[in-house]
Amino acid sequence: MAAAVELEGVNVTFGDFVAVKDANLTIEPGEFFSFLGPSGCGKTTLLRTISGFIEPTRGTVRIGGADMKGIGPNKRPTALIFQNLALFPMMTVAENIGYGLRVRGVPRHERDEKVKNLLIQVALAEHGHKKVSELSGGQKQRVAIARALAVEPSVLLLDEPLSALDLKLRQHMRAELRAIQKRVGITFIYITHDQGEALTMSDRIAVMNAGVIEQVGDGRAVYAEPRTPFVAAFVGENNQIRGRITARDGAMATLDTPLGTLSGRNPVALDVGQEALLFVRPEAMQLRANGTTVGFAGETLDVAYEGSVTHVTLRVKTGQKVMASLGGNPGLALPTPGEHLHLGFRPEDALLLARPERH
């Protein structure tokens, strides 16, 4: 089967400004694929390029194997759901869902049948007669999805569709969106700046920074095996410590830092003498007494007890803050602010990456 979407050397520039740089990517049929990155990194531009609202300055977009050059948005097998949903408030739910079919001249009985099925798929079977203005935020989301699905796109593009919802509903809708996608089986391409959203819903994620796709992988790969400092810092919390590589030993390396000698995994094969960043997640930190081999000391600034986990902020001698999320060992004596504390980590839980020049 042809890939759902292929990007080959896609560049989008606005005047001198490069909004998307050399995007190369294959999205498989039936995948839930997310673009994750901070505001302004080019996510929306890329989505609009796939849907046909923007022509790439250079490169090729293929959908279902076919080159989309010169093919307008309404001729592509895609549907786009915007942040604001753009539903018709005075129409009923059923009329909203059937709108695209009516415009295309689909006969009434066929339309009604289709709308009925879609209402079931998005769990709104009892709500077809209601006005959109009578629905909750989550229900409106589902109407927008059903309306987009009505015209049978092979790819559904979603531009931060949950960002207007409150936190609780947003979390609930993550599971719902994922379930709807699995049920209908078509490719979803989702853009978000919220890493929790991307991690919980996606089969794979492309992490973007300043127009560049820095890494593509499943949630675990981008969280546990980041390949660039940007990905390590953007996806989840991470402590980062600068230094210079002093020794290599197999998959590991040792770093000379202002906080002493620290070790970590060396997946990108940094060499002795190279400037590097050591990344260690707060949850990989332990109280030094636990037999860890590397670590540092500092003054406890803040202790936030959450039951299953306690978040500790330490100020180390360089003035840098280091975060530790200590596991909920019931016997754990909690540090107190002002206390001098030793924290450590297992070198296998830390990651060394090349320090970018602008760092």
List contacts with ligand ATP (CB under 6 A): 14, 17, 19, 37, 39-45, 193
Least Å from the CB of residue 12 to ligand ATP: 8
Nearer to ligand ATP, 23 or 326 (CB): 23
Rounded to 10 degrees, the C-alpha dihedral 209/212/215/216 comes to: 110
Least Å from the CB of residue 162 to ligand ATP: 13
Task: Assign residue 307 a region (left: φ > 0; alpha: ψ between -120 and 50; beta: otherwise).
Answer: left
Least Å from the CB of residue 199 to ligand ATP: 17
Least Å from the CB of residue 167 to ligand ATP: 18
Question: What value, to the nearest 5°, has the Cα angle with vertex 258 and ends 257 and 264?
Answer: 25
Nearer to ligand ATP, 38 or 337 (CB): 38
Measured CA to CA, the distance from residue 97 to residue 119 in angstroms comes to 8
Q: Enter the tokens of residue 84.
A: 């604001």
Distances (CA, A) of 104 to 86, 100, 174, 272, 293: 19, 6, 31, 65, 67
Question: 163 and 83 in contact (C-beta within 8 Å)?
Answer: yes
Nearer to ligand ATP, 43 or 147 (CB): 43
Nearer to ligand ATP, 41 or 177 (CB): 41
Least Å from the CB of residue 40 to ligand ATP: 4
Question: 205 and 196 in contact (C-beta within 8 Å)?
Answer: no
Nearer to ligand ATP, 214 or 349 (CB): 214
